[in-house]
Structure 1
Amino acid sequence: MHTFLRLSSNASKHLCKQACYSRLHGYTKHARRNISVSTALTPPELNRNESEDDVTEHVIIQDPGLYEMILPEEPYKWGVSHIHRKEVPAYIRYPPYVKQTLECMRLGKDPSNVGESYDDDGDGRIEFQGREVFHLRNAARLARATLDYAAGFIKPGATTSSINAAVHQYIISHKAYPSPLHYSGFPKSCCTSVNNIVAHGIPDSRRLQDGDIVNVDVTVYLDGYHGDTSRTFLVGNVDDIGKSLVAVTNEALDAAIQACGPGQPFKGIARAIHNILQSHGSGQWCVSPQFTGHGIGRMFHRPPWILHDLNEEPGEMLPGHCFTIEPCIIKGTDPRTWIFPDGWTASTVSGARSAQAEEMILITEHGVDVLTRERPS
């Protein structure tokens, strides 16, 4: 859960510029956005009026399927301080960052910069001797079980808030902590990203509609270790493009896992994803470069950062490396995202749909162990 946001695109910054300007200067009037929409399978071009009061865009939507585009509710509310957070019993072990976030909130400070320090975590690799692998496997197994449990609540008419409530209760009933809750101020126990939402969707009162796709991303903290996994689900009768998007995403993840092993280069993960997308037709699908996989174990996020887009980053996988692979695949050729006023929800700039799938990978002496999948009996 919680892909690492590598950087915000220039487009994201521009789209938020006017609204942020109004916020900083105490204005209540929102900037006017004139949006011209067309459909094509060619890269979009944005033509903007750069005045402080008006932004004009020409957006080419590359997803001609049948779905509802998710947009922030108006009037816009900035940040997430207004969103209700569920409580976790005191007897459950909390991740270290929770205390810092709660203290920031008590003092009225912004908790978005609260993070993790991995200075004392060495290189993050898992020790195969002792109990470390045992605890890691248990956390990963609970994450998988939680996601399977959440699947039973995904149907037309259900709210993503009700899915969050089910996930929260399931995790604490297993004496674990829902890792996203209070991570840098995040207000919910899981992420639910619908249709054009790429990642970090905040569960809310919107009811799932027949034809939606929704990614549910869960992470648990059990006995001092995090387990993290996600899947994109079909809600009711999804159109062919949506079905293909989810299928290609799962195939890309499987290929990326096949590229893993001791001594293998990390950049091979992105190459495997790229090859799968190309095999399904050039220009049909792209991968978001803004969200990465990450090392995981005693910490929620830490190196190695796993890039899903083509790269020439150095580094190779070593026994004990544990990390997530979680590509966000987008319909069309425009991978850019922008962030809603809540500071978390990331949408495609074009409004095209996105799907994500995620597993936890442990590199062993002789191969790969996918911790968040059922092991052969």
Structure 2
Amino acid sequence: MPKDSAGHLLPGPVSPTRPVPARIPRPEYVGRPAPARFTGSDIYPAAKIELIREAGRIAAEAIEAVGRGIRPGVTTEELDRIGHQFLIENDAYPSTLGYRGYPKSLCSSVNEVICHGIPDTTVLENGDIVNIDITAFKNGVHGDTNVTFIVGEASEAVTLLVERTKEALARGIKAVAPGRQVNVIGRTIESYAKRFGYGVVRDFTGHGVGEAFHSGLIVPHYDSAPQYDTVMEVGMVFTIEPMLTLGSTDWDMWADDWTVTTRDKSITAQFEHTLVVTERGAEVLTLP
């Protein structure tokens, strides 16, 4: 099992890329080193929003399917198999698969992994937490969401971190309103997280999503981000995905150029939804 003597994660072997039937359309970046620069808009008409909602629903249901398989003794590789199978059975392409060379159909970030953990031979143990991040591509658009699951029973501190990270996302969504700058979202999230002394990760953010996996729009999760002053408009689609830690937000990246861990090995949790700005606030598009 790829953990060191202190119980911290180590990279495990990664299995070959899973096949996707030829009948399922691919995003434009598959087979290329990087996506094309997005030149479209983050504001979508109603018909396109409904397509994003469909992709988001499939992603959310795929996470539910993966969640049913989470238990002590299961590998993150097996969770990737479950998520991959669900997506292709619903005629959706796993957006992460082939994105800038990423080799798997979901991200599985365990314990101290902040984000972008690659499924491998890691065996989940009682008390671990694992974030499952799935994006589905269907009808030319992406729907992006993630959930942190507790494996068995975790300590009170870890359980509260997971619950409060989910609440931080909810509060960020409530801060959405047309006419406001996107940085109000981070101000709301960090003011809540600070009550408990949690670290709020700054270097990985929410983003515009829809026709592009990442459009270029940045949505910060922390306070004091005046540079992110995009004004929210009705029809704008983006993700909010706060990452909170029990310790420092300093991070390291593994040699795979994907897996990001807290430098102090503190536990970290994350939740994410894709949403659309409405006249009254926000509507979540990644619900099962």
Identify whether the pair has TM-score above 0.5, normalized to the shorter chain: yes
Cα displacement (A) at 1:183: 0.2
Letter of the structure 2 residue corresponding to residue 287 of structure 1:
V
Residue in 1 that maps onto 2:68: 152
**Could you say which residue in structure 2 is the equivalent of 1:370?**
284
Residue 245 of structure 2 aligns with an amino acid whose one-letter code is: I
Q: After superposition, where does 1:299-338 map in structure 2 within 5 Å? A: 299-310=212-223, 311-313=225-227, 314-332=229-247, 334-338=248-252
Matched, 1:355 2:275: no
Rounded to whole Å, the distance in 2 between the matches of 1:319 and 1:347 is: 36
Structure 2 equivalent of residue 127 of structure 1: 45
Q: Tell me the alpha carbon deviations over residues 223-254 of structure 1, each in whole angstroms, 9 at most, x when there is no partner.
A: 11101100100001211111011011111111
Aligned residue for 2:30, secondary structure, equals: helix
Specify the alignment match of 2:52 in structure 1.
136
Cα distance in structure 1, aligned partners of 2:268 and 2:193 = 14
AA at the equivalent of 2:273: E
Letter in 1 for 2:37: S
How far did residue 372 of structure 1 move? Answer: 1.2
Query: Any idea what SS the aligned residue of 1:260 has?
Result: coil
In 1, the alpha carbon distance for the partners of 2:54 and 2:244 equals 29
How far apart, in 2, do the equivalents of 1:335 and 1:71 lie?
19
Moved segments of 4+, more than 3 Å: none
SS state at 1:99 partner: coil
Q: Normalising by structure 2, what TM-score?
A: 0.94
| Contact 2:174–2:281, Cα closer than 8 Å, also in 1 | no
Q: Does structure 1 retain, via aligned residues, the 8 Å contact 2:177–2:282?
A: yes
Residue in 2 that maps onto 1:298 = 211
Tell me the CA shift for residue 373 of structure 1.
2.7
Structure 1: runs of 5 or more not aligned = 1-66, 101-110
**CA deviation after TM superposition for structure 1 residue 186, in Å:** 0.1
CA displacement, residues 69-119 of structure 1 (integer Å, 9 cap, x when unaligned): 21335xxx9xxxx7510010111010000032xxxxxxxxxx3xx123112
Q: Which of 63, 67, 71 lines up with 2:10 in the alignment? A: 71
TM-superposed deviation, 1:303: 2.9
Aligned equivalents of 2:281 and 2:268: distance in 1? 31
Deviation per CA, 1:194-244, whole angstroms, max 9, x where unpaired? 000000000011110011000000000011110110010000121111101
Partner of 2:3: none
Q: Give, in whole Å, the separation in 1 of the partners of 2:8 and 2:163.
A: 20
SS of the residue corresponding to residue 369 of structure 1 reads strand
Question: In the TM superposition, what is the alpha-carbon distance from 1:134 to its structure 2 partner?
Answer: 2.0
Instruction: State the match for 1:90 in structure 2.
Output: 22
**Partner Cα separation in structure 2 for residue 315 and residue 276 of structure 1:** 22
Q: Distance in 2 between matches of 1:116 and 1:322?
A: 19
> What SS is found at the alignment partner of 1:255?
helix
Amino acid at match of 1:352: S
> Which structure is larger by alpha-carbon Rg, 1 or 2?
1
* 1:270/1:307 contact within 8 Å kept: yes
Alignment correspondent of 2:100: 184
Q: Which one of the candidate residues 202, 217, 233 is aligned to 1:289? A: 202
Runs of at least 5 residues in structure 2 that lack an aligned partner in the other structure: 1-5
Amino acid in the other structure paired with 1:99: G
CA contact (8 A) 2:42 2:238 kept: no
CA–CA distance in structure 2, aligned partners of residues 189 and 116 of structure 1: 20
Map 1:169-180 onto structure 2 (within 5 A).
169-180=85-96
**1:218 maps onto 2:134 in alignment:** yes
**In the alignment, does 2:148 pair up with 1:247?**
no
Which of the residues 108, 114, 138 maps onto 1:198?
A: 114
The yes-or-no answer on 1:207 pairing with 2:123 is yes
> Which residue of structure 2 lines up, in the alignment, with residue 116 of structure 1?
36
**Residues 59 and 135, structure 2, Cα contact 8 Å, conserved in 1:** yes
Residue 216 of structure 1 aligns to which amino acid in structure 2? I
In structure 2, the partner of 1:230 is: 146
Tell me the C-alpha RMSD between the 2 structures: 1.5
Number of residues of Structure 1 aligned to a counterpart in Structure 2: 281
The answer (yes or no) to whether the contact 2:93–2:136 under 8 Å persists in 1 is yes
Query: What is the SS of the residue equivalent to 1:254?
Result: helix
Moved more, 240-249 or 208-217: 240-249
